Structure formats: structure tokens, C-alpha cells
Amino acid sequence: MEAINFDYSKAVNFFKKAEMDNLSPFAKIALHNLKEKEGVGAEFTDWVDWPKDFLQSEIERINQTAQKIRENSDVLVVIGIGGSYLGAKAAIDFLNHSFYNLLAPSQGFPQIFFAGNNISSTYLNDLIEVIGERDFSINVISKSGTTTEPAIAFRILKEKMIDKYGKEEAYQRIFATTDQSKGALKKEADENNYESFVIPDGIGGRFSVLTPVGLLPIAVSGAHIEKILQGARFARENYLVDDLENNQAMQYAVLRNIFYRKGKVNELLVNYEPNLNAFGEWWKQLFGESEGKDQKGIFPCSANFSTDLHSIGQIIQDGQRNLFETVLNIQTARKEIEIPRLEENIDGLSYLEGEMMSSVNQMAYKGTMIAHTDGSVPNLIIDLPAMNEETLGQLIYFFEMAVSLSGYLNGVNPFDQPGVEAYKRNMFALLGKPGYEDISKELSQRI
């Protein structure tokens, strides 16, 4: 298997080797605490060994269920929020045709839509119109079953499904990914005999893409989930090495810490392929929710070049020097197209005639990297051999390992998210949810 490669050669002018050497012992301690479950949040680190421990029988059941959905449904609606949908959306976009949902019906695959990740009545009504009278299935993903956004969407779409099919058939079209033993969704799934998959207790939502949370919808899209896990297993062997010189995930974590200490408090994840846009959204949650604590943390942003060079390129080049870039560089395009030759040079592109578009994209990447580093923006490069399952599995594991080490280096628990609860408490109080009466009056006076 060809490995992804982390390259920091375009950032060496922005730090001293001694800085990496000084942090090396602390990075090794962080890795030890992660591997041995001796660090804070250790109860949520089962993802470390998950690629090798995941049962083959469960992989086969996921594939069988995915085949069932493909055979009886024109649409799959995945209901979830945060880690319950971002990883699946990122993977499906990464691995499939740029216009998957438009082509899926003609290729024997269901369209895959996501719901329960917002509270927009317009969005949900529009989705119901798109489904129309076609056959559909639901994969509802929630540890508790009471998270507001997915719970509302599930209640509404479940009613539509029951109206269409009746309870008996509707319940055969609902697939629940939830807690193993407790929670409202688990109780409902048991009572109604939904086929169910388990969200492991020891893996938090933003680390769950390689569990049934992500793998079921990914499998429905036709991807080979075994190959994704194979890539993650390969990465695990590389990133559990207790040696900064040979552990690229550790290098990335250390360099992020160095840049943060130098005032580079914003990180821009850059891609040059639109199919990676959703991956940037997954990455933002992984890093933002893992590191943003105790008034600390690098703010994660993402951008699609060359598109965004025509919108935010100016501020990157000449704005405040408080950011660095991590670039996802696809080395082999999935598809090629040649720039045609014309008799007249009307558009001024005669110098590109006969060139492949991917070559132009590569020159855009290299030219941008030179310009931005000249403008004092460090560039960290992650070379991806191709956009396939093995590469995706490696990349997911690389970032999960790196953010865990980075959080430990910065003195925070990378596996909790206490700040997420603040908005929920206020929303519940303003909506009159029982148990929040003590703060509802005060909040009502503040709005």
C-alpha cells in the first residue's frame, strides 16, 4: 500500500530544529499516555486500536445491510449531527463521482441525503419534496436519541415513512446506529425491531467515522469499507511508532504546537479538489471540538483552491501573519481531461494547449505555495497518492492521531466537549423544556 506523506520542508524557515527537539520528549509522553490509556479522556480512546479490533462479522453485516438498502430504496436519508454525519459525508464525497446523487439512480445506487444536522424547516420540507413518492430508508444515528436536531428530523421523516408503508414495513426500513444498552433510540429500536448497529462506548462522535456510524452510509454508496479499514490499520502501525523522526502524525502535532506558540492561531486546511470540501468540514469538527478548550486552541478553517484564492486569497497573502496552511495534495487525479487546441488564440490559452488539467492544477498548487510561504505563511503538505479507500483510511487515522497528541501537548483533554452544552442549555430553557425553568426567565429578559 502506498503511504500518504507528511512534508514540512516548505515550513522549515519558520522554526528552528531545536524547537522540534525540545518538544520531542513531551510528544513521546503524549503518545505513551494515548497508547496506554493513561492520559485524560482515556475512556474515549478505543479508536486507537479500532481498525484492528473491529469484528469481521460486523463488517459483513454492514455490507449486507447496505446491499439491502441499495436493492429496496431509491433514497437513503442519514439522520445525525456532528460526528454522526460529517465523516460519512466526507468519505462519500471523497470516494465518489462529483455528482453522485445525480447519477446514482441510473447506476443502481440510492441517492444519499443528510438530515438532522440543522433546525431549518425549509431544508426538511425541501428534502421531503425531493424524496416524493419514491422508496426510501432511514439510517438514524444518535447515542442518546434525544439530541434536538436529529430527534426532530427523525420524528417527522418517520411519520412520513409510516404514512407511506404502514408501521410493519416502515420499521424494516429504519436502521438505528446507537448505544449498545441505553438511551431513547436504543429503547425504541428494541421495541420496534429496527436493525441496529452499535456506537462504541469508548469512541466519541468526532472519532467515529470508522465505526458503523460512518461505515454503513459509506457502504451504501458502493465504497469498499474493508479497504478503508485496511488503510487505517496501515496508518496505525506507522503512527504508533515512538520516534518523532519516523512518526509523521507526531511531527504534525509538534509543528502545530510550535506555530501556535508563535502566534499562528489559525490553521487553514487547503484542498485543490472540490470532492475534498466535505472532508474539510469533518476536519474542522475534529480539531475545533478536540482542542478549543480552556481559552486555548488553534482555530480550524478550510478552503478550496483555486476557487477561494479569488475570494480570501488576498487576506492570506497580505493580511495578519497569524495563520498557517495544511495542504492536501492529490498526486494522481482520478480522471483526466486535455485542454484542446484551437485555431485562434482568442482566450490566450495557447500556451496550455495539449496540457492535462491536472498539471495546471498542480502548478496552481505549487505557485500558491511559493507565494504564501514568501508572504510568511508556513505550508505543511500532506501528499495523497490517490483518492481511494486506502488513502482515505490513512488520512482519517493520521488526523485522529495528530489531534490527540496535539491536544495533550497543549494541556487539554482532546476527547470531551464541555462548551457544546452551553447553547443547548439556553435553547432548552427558551423553548420551555422541563427542568430548565430556573434560567428561562433570566434568558427571556436578555433577548
pLDDT at 421 over 70: no
pTM for this entry: 0.95
Q: What pLDDT sits at residue 414?
A: 97
pLDDT at 433 over 90: no
Mean pLDDT (the chain, rounded)? 95
Q: What pLDDT sits at residue 412?
A: 97
How much of the chain, in percent, has pLDDT values that exceed 90?
90
| C-alpha dihedral sign at 204, 206, 211, 212 | positive
| pLDDT tens per residue, range 165-222 | 999 999 999 999 999 999 999 999 999 999 999 999 999 999 999 999 999 999 999 9
Range with the poorest average pLDDT among 196-200, 230-234, 321-325, 352-356: 352-356
Active site residue 160: no
Q: What pLDDT sits at residue 88?
A: 97
| pLDDT tens per residue, range 330-378 | 999 999 999 999 989 999 989 998 999 999 999 999 999 999 999 999 9
**For 48-226, which CATH superfamily applies?**
Glucose-6-phosphate isomerase like protein; domain 1 (3.40.50.10490)
Strands 174-178 and 379-384, bridge-based pairing:
unpaired
Class of domain 5-39+228-415: alpha beta
Same fold, 5-39+228-415 and 48-226: yes
Q: Are 402 and 257 in contact (CB under 8 A)?
A: no
Catalytic residue selected from 273, 289, 325, 400: 289
pLDDT at 432 over 90: no
SS3 183: coil
Catalytic residue selected from 16, 296, 366, 424: 424
Q: What pLDDT sits at residue 86?
A: 96
**What is the average pLDDT across 321-327?**
97
Active site residue 227: no
Q: What pLDDT sits at residue 19?
A: 97
**What phi and psi, each to the nearest 5 degrees, are found at residue 412?**
-125, 165
Beginning with the edge strand found earlier in the chain, give each strand of the sheet holding 5-7 in spatial order.
5-7, 379-384, 323-330, 266-271, 299-304
Q: How far is CA 323 from CA 37, 285, 383, 427, in A?
A: 32, 18, 20, 33
Q: Where are the alpha helices (DSSP H) in 104-144?
A: 121-131
Q: What are the structural domain ranges in the chain? A: 5-39+228-415, 48-226
